[in-house]
Amino acid sequence: MSTKDRLLGYLKESKGDWVSGELLSRRIGITRSAIWKNISKLREEGYVIESSPNKGYSLSKISEMLLPNEIREGLDTEIFGRGEIIHFRETDSTNARAKELAIQGAPEGTLIVSETQTKGRGRKGRTWFSPSEAGIYASLVLRPNMPPNEAPRITFVTAVSAAETLLALTSLEVAIKWPNDILVNNKKIAGILTEISAEMDAIDYMVVGLGMNVNNPHLPDDIEEKATSIFIETGKRFPKVRIVREYLRRQEKYCRILRDSGFEPILMRWKELTNTIGKRIMVEMIDKRYTGVVQDVDQEGVLILQDEKGAFHRILSGDVTFV
């Protein structure tokens, strides 16, 4: 444990009470000048620490950043988030950074988080609005033992995990829209981007990216009618670290269920959470468009659509609009 982390631990133990610089210096075994330097580093990381010549130091507010030590504190997982957590103040894309690490051999459960993204991406290369410190931008390295054709199941796992996280921690009404959107009041609050590297018969690695609007007070004009955030829905800021911890716990749980019990229990839970089945939709693909009613999502995660002429279509991937 670093000197800075030991200092933070002592301040947390005091629970807002004042701790003298002399006591901290004696406990950690460094000079009072070194204490001050580490206090300055903690403040740069977003911790609000008061200081007084007569009283010492007092931790009055925990950082709102997605710092590795804050994520690990209280984390209830065995693998996910237990190894390396890479934190950026800013990066182009957490998925891009995660893929680089995966190529270098990063183990399953490696987590990459950033306070903002300059080139955040959604499906089909769309931009994901990633303002500084407002949302969760996180990517997880997975190495599932499954054939490549079953890789879409991981998106269903992630959708269930993200939806259940919001249901557990907030009072929001949450629904999953096929294939990868998390909605609140029919507006998108989170999205999933799954990327894969595979051989003919085996997956080398997968990167699962989660973008979630948390403390955004407002959204750009071009998406404000179809997107939302926890803050917009509740009028209150929410600690992002709590969401990441709960998401990792549920993601690990459902990845284990997928491995041990197969896709059926995942799909059953997904169907309980989705708002897509039974709805009239328009689905757009690269070269065609269908309008009709969603009849089901099958065991492969394929959407079954009955069009206005009564014909059935199996939709592997596409953009869905409710009509």
Phi, psi of 123 (to 5 degrees): -65, 150
Taking the C-alpha atoms of residue 241 and residue 18, their distance in angstroms, rounded to an integer, is 25
Neighbour count for residue 220 (Cβ, 10 Å):
10
Closest CA to 297 of 322, 319, 272, 321: 272
Intra-chain end-to-end CA distance of the chain, in Å: 55
- Whole-model pTM: value is 0.93
* Contact indicator for 169, 244 with CB cutoff of 8 Å: no
Taking the C-alpha atoms of residue 251 and residue 254, their distance in angstroms, rounded to an integer, is 5
Determine how β-strand 85-88 pairs with β-strand 181-184: unpaired
pLDDT tens string 50-69: 999 999 999 999 999 999 99
Q: Angle at the Cα of 248 (from 152 to 94), degrees rounded to 5?
A: 70
Residue 128: what pLDDT?
Answer: 67
Number of H helices and number of E strands within the chain? Answer: 9, 14
pLDDT surpasses 70 at 42: yes
Residue 124: what pLDDT?
Answer: 59
Taking the C-alpha atoms of residue 114 and residue 73, their distance in angstroms, rounded to an integer, is 18
Residue 131: what pLDDT?
Answer: 74
pLDDT tens string 80-102: 999 999 999 999 999 999 999 99
Work out the angle between the directed axes of helices 32-44 and 21-28 (0-180°, nearest 10): 100
pLDDT surpasses 60 at 123: no
Taking the C-alpha atoms of residue 98 and residue 104, their distance in angstroms, rounded to an integer, is 10
Which one-letter amino acid corresponds to residue 236?
K
Residue 126: what pLDDT?
Answer: 64
CATH code at 3-61: 1.10.10.10
Residue with tokens 């190894």: 83
Taking the C-alpha atoms of residue 177 and residue 159, their distance in angstroms, rounded to an integer, is 9
Taking the C-alpha atoms of residue 56 and residue 302, their distance in angstroms, rounded to an integer, is 61
Residue 222: what pLDDT?
Answer: 86
Tell me the average pLDDT of the chain. 94
Average confidence (pLDDT) over 11-18: 91
CA distances 182 to 146, 162, 283, 302, 314, Å, are 25, 8, 17, 18, 22
CATH code at 68-273: 3.30.930.10
Closest CA to 154 of 271, 297, 75, 257: 257
pLDDT tens string 241-294: 999 999 999 999 999 999 999 999 999 999 999 999 999 999 998 889 999 999
> In the CATH hierarchy, which fold is given to the domain comprising 280-322?
SH3 type barrels. (2.30.30)
Closest CA to 224 of 187, 260, 253: 187
Residue 121: what pLDDT?
Answer: 67
Residue 310: what pLDDT?
Answer: 95
| Both structure tokens of 278 | 């039974």
Note whether 68-273 and 280-322 share their fold: no
Residue 125: what pLDDT?
Answer: 59
Closest CA to 59 of 38, 74, 80, 73: 38
Residue 81: what pLDDT?
Answer: 97
pLDDT surpasses 90 at 141: yes
Q: How is the chain split into domains, by residue range?
A: 3-61, 68-273, 280-322
